C-alpha cells in the first residue's frame, strides 16, 4: 500500500501530466480555461502544517508554470489556495465533525466536497485569470471567464474524483 507521501507525489505527477498534456491543449474557447491543479492542494491531508501547505502550493505551481510557460500564475494561485484552504475547511465544517486523514468525496459527502471545491476553485480561477489578464478593463468578460472556467474545472475534478477515489462511505 502506498504511504501518504507516495500517494500525493503520484497524484501530483498525474494531475500535472494531465493538465500539461491534455487539458491545457483542449482549446475549447477563450472563455474556458480549465485548471485541475488546485485539486492536488485541496486533497492534501488535513493535518499538514500551513507553512508546509504553502510551500507545496508554491512549488507545485512553479513546476506547472515551467511546463505551461505561465510566468508564475500557477505559483501565485497555488500559494493563495494553500493559504486559504484551512479557512475554507474551518468555515464549512460543522463543529465537532470528525474526518479522515485527507479530504475524500465519499467520506465527507458530496455536499461538503462540492462547497469546499467550489469556493477554492472560484478563488483560484478568479486570482489566476485576473493576473493573467492584468486588468479590470473588461470586467464582464473576466467574470464570464472565471465562472465558465470554474464550472468546467469542477466538472473535470469531480469526474476524476469519482473515477479514481477510494469509495469509503461515511458512517452516520
In a domain, 96, yes or no: yes
What is the Cβ-side half-sphere exposure of residue 158, based on CA atoms within 13 angstroms?
A: 17
In a domain, 123, yes or no: yes
For residue range 84-114, what is the model confidence (pLDDT) as tens digits? Answer: 999 999 999 888 777 767 888 888 888 999 9
Q: How many residues does the chain have?
A: 172
CA distance 80 to 20: 21
Q: Which helix (H) or strand (E) holds 156?
A: helix 139-164
How many domains are contained in the chain? 1
CA distance 60 to 9: 10
In a domain, 170, yes or no: no
For residue range 12-45, what is the model confidence (pLDDT) as tens digits? Answer: 999 999 999 998 888 888 788 899 999 999 999 9
Angle, vertex CA 33, rays to CA 29 and CA 35, nearest 5: 150
pLDDT class of 168 with cuts at 50, 70, 90: low
In a domain, 172, yes or no: no
Q: For residue 36, with 0-12 CB atoms within 10 Å meaning exposed, 13-18 middle and 19 or more buried, which class applies? A: buried
Helix (H, G, I), strand (E, B) or coil at 29: strand
Q: Which domain holds residue 86?
A: 4-164
pTM, full prediction? 0.88
Q: In the prediction, which pLDDT does 95 show? A: 80
Amino acid at each position: 500500500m502506498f504511504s501518504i507521501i507516495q500517494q500525493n507525489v503520484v497524484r501530483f505527477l498525474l494531475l500535472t501530466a494531465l493538465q500539461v498534456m491534455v487539458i491545457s491543449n483542449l482549446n475549447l474557447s477563450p472563455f474556458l480555461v480549465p485548471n485541475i491543479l488546485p485539486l492536488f492542494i485541496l486533497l492534501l491531508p488535513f493535518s499538514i502544517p500551513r507553512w508546509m501547505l504553502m510551500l507545496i502550493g508554491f512549488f507545485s505551481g512553479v513546476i506547472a508554470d515551467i511546463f505551461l510557460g505561465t510566468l508564475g500564475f500557477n505559483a501565485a494561485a497555488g500559494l493563495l489556495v494553500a493559504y486559504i484552504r484551512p479557512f475554507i475547511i474551518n468555515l464549512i465544517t460543522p463543529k465537532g465533525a470528525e474526518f479522515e486523514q485527507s479530504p475524500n468525496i465519499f467520506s465527507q459527502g458530496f455536499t461538503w466536497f462540492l462547497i469546499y471545491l467550489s469556493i477554492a476553485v472560484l478563488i483560484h480561477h478568479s486570482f489566476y485569470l485576473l493576473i493573467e489578464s492584468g486588468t479590470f478593463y473588461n470586467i464582464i468578460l473576466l467574470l464570464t471567464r472565471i465562472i465558465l472556467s470554474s464550472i468546467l474545472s469542477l466538472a473535470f475534478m469531480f469526474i476524476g474524483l469519482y473515477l479514481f477515489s477510494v469509495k469509503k462511505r461515511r458512517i452516520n
